[in-house]
Structure 1
Amino acid sequence: MQKQQKKSRAQLLHQYYKYTGFYAFIWNNTKKAIMPLLLIIGALLVVNYRVMSISEMLLYVTQNFSKTFIFSLFFASESFLGLLPPDIFIAWTKTTEHPLLYLSLLAVLSYLGGVVSYYYGRTLLLIPKINDYLEGRMSKHIRNMQKWGGFLIAVGALLPLPFAMACLAAGMIKFPQRQFFAFAALRIFRFVIYGFAIYSALS
């Protein structure tokens, strides 16, 4: 009787993520993220052709708001639930005098925003009432983080999924700090990829 081949670590991980619904989770959340993204693109196109060109609009923002204000607004958004789409800020950097420098700064601020969310999650554990409230509100995110750990952080960093929420949940389950920093650093690659795509579209 032929011996059954031992499965590799990669195969075992694939099997685990398949059985625990990781791939279905990614697909379902990507679909949910696509619709708002399409609505934003549609709204921008309407504005571009009916009201003001996107380039003129972004130039208006550059001329009427200080860079400190824009970077502060972006950092606040990335630190607390990621309410504002990073793509708008990436497009804004294209109209500045130092696009690559400002794009790099956005990437670093986004990463640091994730770190703030992570430590925010760890701090909340010390306040029982807030911890209990958030554990109820974020029970799904916490369960997913317990199941998938670093891969969920990596997916949140790279795809249009709630990165800040993943970081907050990581903090709440006390995900190891060194591993968190490593997985969260993938956020920088998202800005490289999206920056290239958006810069090409605005050229």
Structure 2
Amino acid sequence: MSKVKKSRVKLLHQYYKYTGFYSFIWQGVKSAILPTVIVVAVLFYVNYKVINLNEGLLYITQNFSDLFIFGVFLASESVLGLIPPDIFIAWTKNTESPLLYLSILAFLSYLGGVIAYFMGMAIVAIPSVNKHLYGKMSKHIINMQKWGGFLIAVGALLPLPFAIACLAAGMINYSRKHFFLFGLLRFFRFAIYGFVIYSALS
């Protein structure tokens, strides 16, 4: 039985190697490392050299309702991740219950991915829109067809376009069960980034 499992893993490894999955991840990670390092470095610098970020974030907390901020975040996570989640994670640091708010953000990010997934399914039903977006997202759709859930997992865990992966999954009618399962990895990303950003602001 162990030999069968080993051979299957080996076959999967060869498949992902030949189809360029590992090089895709590496290129994505390389392109994401610099922006991530810059964001964290800027947080450190501004916090210690320019202005206390905790005070600035406290101002946002006091002048904007939680519901408004959560709404903006959900909209961003549903439409191609227009605003970096790191900004919102930093905001939770100065709320009354940081871990609770961070958990809510993680859930909303997951929900945003689900919304993007169903948007993808809806787009397919509109030929003109589907044709337009299919041309613009052909690379992502082809990758989704090749790698499926692993591409969703990568988008959920790494600083890569999670919403785009979810949209592509919906457009090819990827298994809902597997999509919901792989998408849960999004919670781990927020836990890790929360730890890093909270440490930068402490």
TM over 0.5: yes
2:51 is paired with a residue whose SS is coil
Q: TM-score, normalization: structure 1?
A: 0.92
1:8 is paired with a residue whose SS is helix
1:6-25 Cα distance to aligned partner (Å, 9 max, x none)? 76111111111111110100
Structure with greater proportional helix content: 2
Write the letter of the residue equivalent to 1:149.
Answer: G
CA-CA distance at 1:46 after TM superposition: 4.6
| 2:43–2:200 CA contact under 8 A, matched in 1 | no
Alpha-carbon distance in structure 2 between the residues aligned to 1:174 and 1:130: 16
Equivalent residue number for residue 51 of structure 2: 52
2:82 is the alignment partner of 1:66: no
Equivalent residue number for residue 121 of structure 1: 120
1:13-69 Cα distance to aligned partner (Å, 9 max, x none)? 111111111010001011111222233334434533454222122111111111111
Write the letter of the residue equivalent to 2:58.
Answer: L
2:137 is the alignment partner of 1:138: yes
Which shows bigger deviation, 38-47 or 130-139? 38-47
1:161-203 Cα distance to aligned partner (Å, 9 max, x none)? 0000000000000001111000111111111222122223322
Alpha-carbon distance in structure 1 between the residues aligned to 2:56 and 2:45: 13
Equivalent residue number for residue 22 of structure 2: 23
1:55-107 Cα distance to aligned partner (Å, 9 max, x none)? 12211111111111110011000000001111111111111111111111111
5+ long unaligned stretches in structure 1: none
Equivalent residue number for residue 176 of structure 1: 175
Q: Percent same amino acid at aligned positions?
A: 67
| 2:44–2:201 CA contact under 8 A, matched in 1 | no
5+ long unaligned stretches in structure 2: none
- Equivalent positions of 1:88-167 (< 5 A) are 88-167=87-166
Write the letter of the residue equivalent to 2:147.
Answer: W
Alpha-carbon distance in structure 1 between the residues aligned to 2:55 and 2:173: 45
Q: How many residues align?
A: 199
4+ residue segments displaced more than 4 Å: none
Q: 1:195 to 1:43 in 2, by over 3 A?
A: closer
2:40 is paired with a residue whose SS is helix
